[in-house]
C-alpha cells in the first residue's frame, strides 16, 4: 500500500502515513462505503433500498424485505416509503473488478 499524498510505502494495516500524516484508508474493492447509507448494486431486487438498509444497519436482508412487503400489503405506505428511500439514498459507486498483478505490460 502506498500513501496517496506523498507516495511513500505504508504498512497495509496503517491508517495514517508515518511520513506525512495523511489518512491512508485501505481500498476494498466491492465493499460499500463504511458509514454511508447507499443502495448497493448487488444484491438488489428493485432499487436496492432493502439491501442498503440491511447492510448499513447489519439487519437480515430477508427480514427487511419481508417487513417492507408486509407494510405494502397492510399499510399501503410501503410503496411510497420505498420510492422516497429510492430517491433519497444515493446509489453505491461502481466498483472496478479486481485485477491480477501477474503479467506486466
Query: What is the C-alpha to C-alpha distance for residues 68 and 79, in angstroms, rounded to an integer?
Result: 9
Residue 12: φ, ψ to 5°: -65, -30
Least distance to Zn ion, CB of residue 77, Å: 50
Mask for 3-22, x = binds Zn ion (CB under 5 A): x-xx----------x-xx-x
Residue 33: φ, ψ to 5°: -65, 125
C-beta contacts of 97-100 below 8 A and 24+ residues apart: 97/29, 98/29, 98/30
| Size of interface with Zn ion, in residues (CB under 5 A) | 7
Residues 20-59 close enough to bind Zn ion by CB under 5 A: 20, 22
- The answer to whether 94 touches 32, Cβ cutoff 8 Å, is no
Q: Which is nearer to Zn ion, 17 or 50 (CB)?
A: 17
Least distance to Zn ion, CB of residue 21, Å: 7
**Which segment (2-10, 34-42, 48-56, 72-80) binds Zn ion by CB under 5 A?**
2-10
Which residues contribute to the site for Zn ion (CB under 5 A)?
Answer: 3, 5-6, 17, 19-20, 22
Amino acid at each position: 500500500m502506498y500513501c496517496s499524498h506523498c507516495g511513500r510505502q505504508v504498512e497495509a494495516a496503517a491508517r495514517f502515513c508515518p511520513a506525512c500524516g495523511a489518512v491512508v484508508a485501505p481500498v476494498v474493492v466491492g465493499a460499500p462505503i463504511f458509514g454511508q447509507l447507499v443502495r448497493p448494486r448487488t444484491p438488489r431486487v428493485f432499487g436496492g433500498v432493502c439491501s442498503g438498509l440491511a447492510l448499513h444497519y447489519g439487519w437480515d436482508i430477508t427480514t427487511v424485505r419481508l417487513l417492507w412487503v408486509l407494510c405494502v400489503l397492510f399499510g399501503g405506505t410501503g410503496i411510497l416509503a420505498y420510492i422516497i428511500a429510492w430517491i433519497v439514498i444515493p446509489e453505491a459507486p461502481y466498483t472496478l473488478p479486481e485485477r491480477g498483478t501477474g503479467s506486466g505490460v
